[in-house]
Amino acid sequence: MDYLCPMHSEVHQPAPGKCPRCGMKLLPENARFKVFRHMISSPLHLTVMIVLMLALMAFVMMAH
């Protein structure tokens, strides 16, 4: 089983460890979309995610 960095998909290792680029814990390859699946499993989680994304987009647009 390969272990991957959630932020750098090109980082693969055959054993658990940390990403050499960012230091994040490597996850098993089959766990890649668990966080996403968890976020969309609940209407509350989905609403919070959408509100945060809209707030971030508004902030970025106002900063330019």
pLDDT digits (tens, 9 = 90+) for 4-16: 888 887 898 999 9
| Residue-level pLDDT at 32 | 58
| Residue-level pLDDT at 13 | 92
Phi/psi region, residue 22 (left: phi>0; alpha: psi -120 to 50; beta: rest), is alpha
The helix (run of H) or strand (run of E) holding residue 15 is none
pLDDT digits (tens, 9 = 90+) for 16-58: 999 999 998 888 887 756 666 666 677 887 888 899 999 999 9
| Residue-level pLDDT at 35 | 66
Q: Higher pLDDT residue, 33 or 64?
A: 64
